[in-house]
A = this chain, B = another copy of it.
Amino acid sequence: MESLQNQTYKEWKKLHKRKGRDKAHKYLIEGPHLVQEALHSSHEIESIIYDASYEKPEEWNYQGIDEYRLTHELFDQIAQTETSQGVIAVCNMSNEKVDLKKGRYLLVDSVQDPGNLGTMIRTADACGLDAVILGKGTVDQFNDKTLRSAQGSHFHLPVISNDLGRAINQLQELNVPVYATSLDGVNLQAQVTIESSFAVIVGNEGNGVTDDIQQRADFKVKIPMFGQAESLNVAVATGIILYWFRMKGLAK
């Protein structure tokens, strides 16, 4: 493939934008680590694109995946990150239907920064959650920066776009306690009854969880500020709360 006019090549470039990804129901991942994760997961890889000089690892014995090798110049125009290191894959978005059950969930309300969202998905994976649910207004999970920060965790647990109000209703019907982070909340350490199932809602970097969503939650919690900082980074706050609930819940 040596021409920029090639139809397939043009379609790949459209995947740089959310609109193009949503339309094609496909997205790009970059770098050997993510491609390896995808090969090991049930996520469907459509094609793998190699830079001319890239040496494919011997253990990548896949079948039914289209393979392309591009000149360095053409490859560079598909690559979006500094971590692509000569390999990019075109993945199909999962069509898997996820039924909520009694378990552990992170609900994300209007988080804007792709790095924050990716870090939160990675943290949710590390903490062994059952799914991450993204409300409207949250940055795209298939943004290249989100995928890079998530380090492959979106292959490990379902990351679902859903109306948060509806998700809260479903969780409450399953008797999963729903906690919203809120400046009006109870200090985390004062929460004494921690269940082994829970859902935590975190919100926008500047404005937190929207009032409407806060009011639907069963409990409001906040992380105590012991110093002079006004707030925490949302990905850090997510980690503190999820691990506090998980580790305290296990201790029971």
Contacts and interface: CB of A to CB of B under 8 A. Distances in A.
Interface of A: 115, 119, 122-129, 149, 151, 153, 156-157, 188-189, 223-233, 235-240, 243-244, 246-247, 250-251
Nearest to A236: B239
Given A224-B247, A227-B157, A232 B189 contact: no
B239 A232 contact: yes
Oligomeric state, in copies: 2
Contact of A122 (B188, B223, B232, B250): B232
B157 A236 contact: no
11 contacts: A122-B232, A123-B232, A126-B232, A151-B230, A157-B228, A188-B243, A188-B247, A224-B247, A237-B239, A239-B239, A240-B243
A229 B126 contact: yes
A237 B126 CA distance: 11
Contacts of A238: 236
B231 A126 contact: yes
Given A151-B230, A239-B239, 19 more contacts: A119-B233, A119-B236, A122-B232, A123-B229, A125-B228, A126-B232, A127-B226, A127-B227, A129-B227, A149-B233, A153-B228, A157-B227, A157-B228, A224-B247, A226-B246, A235-B235, A236-B239, A243-B244, A244-B247
Contact of A229 (B122, B226, B243): B122
A129 B226 CA distance: 8
Contact of A233 (B123, B157, B224): B123
Contacts of A124: 227
Nearest to A157: B227
Contacts of A156: 227-229
Contacts of A129: 227
A225 B125 CA distance: 8
Contacts of A122: 229, 232-233, 236
A230 B224 CA distance: 28
